[in-house]
Amino acid sequence: MDDSINSTNALSLNESQDEKRPLWKKDNPPRQKALLESFRSCCRCTYEAISERRALFLVFLSCFFYAFRNLAAKVITRTVDPIEIAVFERTTMMICTIPVILYKRYSMKVSREVATILVAIGVINCLSMIFVILSFKLINVGDANAIVASKSVFVGILGWILLREVPTLLDYSAGVACIIGIVFLSKPTIIFNPNALTHDDNLYGVLAAVGGTIFTTIAAILKRLLGLREVQPQIAIFYFSMVSSFTSCILCTIFQRWTWPESTKIQLFLVGSGFLGYLANVCILFALWTEKTFHVTIIGSSTVIVVFFLQYVILHVPPDAYSIAGSSFVLASTIAITMRKTEAPNQVS
């Protein structure tokens, strides 16, 4: 009798211990084992795929960082001036790099040529950010972001104006498509509603976005030069963020824009936008080390789609037909011009 009781207790104890075991340590039937094995192989393949094209994964991740940062900037512009936002964001980015630099013990020494490029990036980035955030204040985030995504087209335009490069038929087509897209996004009343007596706030916002795009284009070219010189991304972000913060402080003092937001929510948004901008810049700089500019630009263009989606989900602002059409024209011109710039070196070789 005692033996049967003991055996029953031992059986129940084994069952309770078996229930507490993790799923992968249980004596599973063959079907469950097969499912677990397929799940493991799927996770392993995903990890290997991400490891092989880690740079492209970082670019895709930066799209979400930029999208959330742009939406945060849109919320902040209701109470804080764009120049002051630039001060907070660039200072936050600079502070974020300090723990990593100290932990990794990176050398802060850079050559004179690299220092010149970093200073130029800092000043241009400051101006670019102020114009772009001003456009966020005047028009929808998705429309402004679509214009900023056309920087590849502006590279060709600047090369034609400054370097006297001879444009091809594809360059002309991409330029026309980009201009059509910008017109759709700006929706000027003289074209779309001639009888309206309202001011063209959309047009002013688009002009600010175009100005920011031109500065962003120059900054992107300079960042590519840094990538070719293999400057550590944390060092690069620290220096050009410091220069941008200093430049923004000077502009804030000149235009007397110094204020301090009393709302804790706005303060958190300011710090959060700076942190997201830091993460996005780290991802982009790491990607430019190992990947072609073509791949980085194409995947980076998906920021437009992400911003439109998040703008609808978070801010409840659906894109209209003009915004969708304009963004499509801008994205098409960006992809076309980037493909040409990638194929050109292959034809020469």
User: What per-residue confidence (pLDDT) applies to 285?
Assistant: 72
If we measure between CA atoms, which residue out of 141, 183, 148, 200 comes closest to residue 318? 141
| Whether the Cβ atoms of residue 330 and residue 150 lie closer than 8 Å to each other | yes
User: What per-residue confidence (pLDDT) applies to 161?
Assistant: 67
| Whether the Cβ atoms of residue 77 and residue 85 lie closer than 8 Å to each other | yes
Distance CA 88, CA 146 (A): 25
User: What per-residue confidence (pLDDT) applies to 2?
Assistant: 47
User: What per-residue confidence (pLDDT) applies to 347?
Assistant: 37
Longest dimension (CA), the chain: 102
Question: Mean pLDDT, 10 residues at a time, over the chain (349 residues)?
Answer: 49 48 51 64 56 69 88 86 89 90 87 88 91 89 82 69 67 78 70 56 83 84 68 84 92 85 83 88 75 65 80 83 82 70 42
Q: How far is CA 218 from the centre of its chain?
A: 16
User: What per-residue confidence (pLDDT) applies to 93?
Assistant: 87
- For the whole prediction, is pTM greater than 0.85? no
DSSP string covering 154-221: HHHHHHHHHS-PPP-HHHHHHHHHHHHHHHHHH--HHHH-TT--S--HHHHHHHHHHHHHHHHHHHHH
- The pLDDT mean for the chain works out to 75
Rg (CA), the chain: 26
Q: How far is CA 222 from the centre of its chain?
A: 17
Burial-class residue 230 by CB neighbours within 10 Å (0-12, 13-18, 19+): exposed
User: What per-residue confidence (pLDDT) applies to 66?
Assistant: 87
User: What per-residue confidence (pLDDT) applies to 124?
Assistant: 92
User: What per-residue confidence (pLDDT) applies to 242?
Assistant: 92
